[in-house]
Amino acid sequence: MKVRLLSRVPSSIDSLFSVVKSVRQQNERHEKQGCAGKSSNNGLKTPKFQRVKDSKGKPIRGVWIRGKQFYARLFIDNGSGQKIDRRVPLEAKTVQDARRELEQLKFLGKTSNLSIRQSQPFNSFRDHYLDSIANMKRKRTYDSENQHLKQWSAFFGNLPIHQISREKIIKYRILKIKGGWTGRTANLSITILNNLLNHAKDNGLIKTLPTTGLKPIRWKPKKRPLFAPEQIEAPIIAMPHSKTANTGSFWPITCVS
């Protein structure tokens, strides 16, 4: 029990008893108020998860809210083939942004700060990457990346993105060099793979790039043979000619059958 100090010395025994009684009554009231306050705080219920509804009042599948925090409900593979029901906190502040973020999580397998992660296979993420650059790069560049990524896809298959290592990349490069690729082509192929891996890093699928520190192959372009003027003129001289009336020059005549 709390004891209050007396502000003045009582003049008689009766007054002393009355003061003590008053202090006791005040302390009892304070203790009752304190207990009531604690019980009321403990009685506060934690906000429950509620379904988020669209403008028409229909529940949005996979989007939940608790208090002011949006959540995505995901079924995540725990690595042993079992699916675990988890609610992942979203960064979104509006319903529209929450729906958009949920779709990104579903496609990319991103699970925020959870220890269980679901990584994209290389084949499926390659398609996602190509779709993302389709309207951003020139057709010639897009076609080049598409062809090289097909080669990488044949090598990696459904290997998860986060399992791609520098050793695997070097092994691929060695195989291609032995198969007849030039150093320039091999370097270009790794550059294109690096573009895809950077995209995966931006989407939270990997933390570091396996290509970091990988030096390109040194190569020298093949020297093209130079032709003498006689060698260039020889095929022309060997062709049928017709002499023009005005200049006297001879021009080759191409016969079309």
> Residue 179 — φ and ψ, nearest 5°?
-80, -5
- The beta strands (E) that lie in 93-234 are given as none
The architecture of the domain spanning 122-202 is: Orthogonal Bundle (1.10)
Average pLDDT of the residues of the chain:
74
The pTM of this model reads: 0.45
Average pLDDT of the residues in 100-106: 80
Domain ranges of the chain: 1-44, 50-107, 122-202
Are 173 and 217 in contact by the 8 Å Cβ rule? The answer is yes
DSSP E strands in 7-166: the ranges are: 50-53, 59-66, 69-77, 83-89
Report d(CA 163, CA 16) in Å as an integer: 83
Dump pLDDT digits (tens) for 18-56.
Answer: 544 554 555 555 455 544 444 444 445 567 888 999 888
